[in-house]
Structures are given as structure tokens and as C-alpha cells.
Amino acid sequence: MNKNSLSLKLLTFKESFIMGLVDWMPLSIGVRIRRILYKLILSKIGSNVNIQPYVQLVNPNCIELGNKVLIDRFARLKNAGRNSKLCIGDSVKINRGADIKVHTNGYFEIDESVIIGAYSCLSGLNIKIGKFTMLGPHTGIFANNHVFTNPFRHINEQGHTYKGITIEEDCWLGSGVKVVDGVTIGRGSIIGAGAVVTKSIPPYSIATGVPAKIVGNRQDIQKNGLGTFALSSSLNNLTDN
């Protein structure tokens, strides 16, 4: 066993031991103990971080948490390799059961005050989510695709392609929205519940449907003085976080 392999095994043991020791602890005492001990295994942990019981961290030395981050029960934050990076900004809220997976050599940036809805899934090589963006429950952000060009070979043996996904600041994605690889959702946009976003969306757009189509623009609504009633009417199938 070479030196690098031994160091990796010791690091993995330390991470597993600390998490196994305290990840189940309930109430505020558990939060405080995790806040102290997880400093030993996370790349960075800010002040007043609230990690609830049974949160799974995979390769936590590649995870950075800002101040006042909340991670609810049963969420999973996973770096597929030790050379990946997951950076979570201040005041981010990751709700119950959310699953975030950074692929090998990947980089995710979740900016400040982002809300990730319950049981959402973020997976791929490169994802950037701008500040104050809200993702409803069961949202899927998939910044990868399977290669399937050879019909005589199993799809799961043909590898992946990666382009990356950017969701700019102050967006709202309703419940069950799916975003595929290569898409940028412009600043201030709203995506209706259940929509599948296959193409980039310009800033301040309102988009619904499968595939998602633009049905309005927030700047036009403001300009024409239609107010929130018209906005609500055009989004009658959009649900909250």
C-alpha cells in the first residue's frame, strides 16, 4: 500500500467515524455537536450552520458550507470523486430528502439564499444556481446525458456527455420542473410546475409546459400595470415550495 492510498483510507475512516458518531443525534444538541465535529471533515463550514439528523455527506472534504446554511433530514450531498467540489453559499436552505450529486471532476455552485425543495435532485458535472432562486419540491436539474449511439451496446456502458446548467439569480421553478443539460435559465424567470426545460430561457420569462414554452414576460406585466393577479392567472398550475 503506497502513502497516498493509506492517507485516503485514513481520511475515509475519519469521515465515516465522525458522521456515524453524531449524524443521528436529535434536537439542538445534535446540531451543535455536528457543527463542531464537522469542521474536521468539511472543506469549509460557516457560522450557525444547521445540519439536521441523517444527512449523508459523501467525500465531505470537497464540500464548502457558508454561514446559516440549513440542511434538512435525509438530504444527501455527494461528490463522486475527491477532485469534485460543491460550494454552498450563505443562508441556503436544502429541504428534506434533496439529493445533490457532483460527478467526478465536477463543480457545483449554489449561491446565497437559494432554496432547494424537498426531494429535488441535482446531478451532473457543472451546475450554477444564482442567489435568491427557489426550486420547488421534486425539481430535477440534470447536467448530463447518457450516450446511446450504439444500439448493440448497453446504454450504461457508453458513457456520458456534459454541457452544464446555469440558473441565474432570482428565479422560481415550480414543483416537479425538470431542466436538461446545456440549458441556461435567465435571471428573474419563472417556470411553471411540471415543465420540462429543454432550451435556454431569456431573463424575466414565464414558461410552462412540456417542453417548456414562453407564455409571458415579467417586465411586460410590470410595464402594462397588470399586477400580480394577471401573473397568477397565467400560472394557474404553478405550485409553491
Q: What is the CATH number of the domain that holds 122?
A: 2.160.10.10
pLDDT at 2: 73
Q: Is 154 a residue of the active site?
A: no
Catalytic residue among 103, 138, 146, 154: 146
* CA–CA distance, 206 with 109 (Å, rounded to integer): 24
pLDDT the model gives residue 235: 53
In a domain, 210, yes or no: yes
1 lies in a domain? no
Half-sphere exposure of 235 (CA within 13 A, CB side): 27
Residue 125 domain boundaries? 42-234
**pLDDT, position 232:** 52
Whether 22 is covered by a domain: the verdict is no
Which pLDDT tens digits describe the chain residue by residue (241 residues)?
A: 577 788 889 999 999 999 999 999 999 999 999 999 999 999 999 999 999 999 999 999 999 999 999 999 999 999 998 999 999 999 999 999 999 999 999 999 999 999 999 999 999 999 999 999 999 999 999 999 999 999 999 999 999 999 999 999 999 999 999 999 999 999 999 999 999 999 999 999 999 999 999 999 998 876 665 545 445 544 554 545 4
In a domain, 29, yes or no: no
Domain count, the chain: 1
- The overall pTM is greater than 0.85: yes
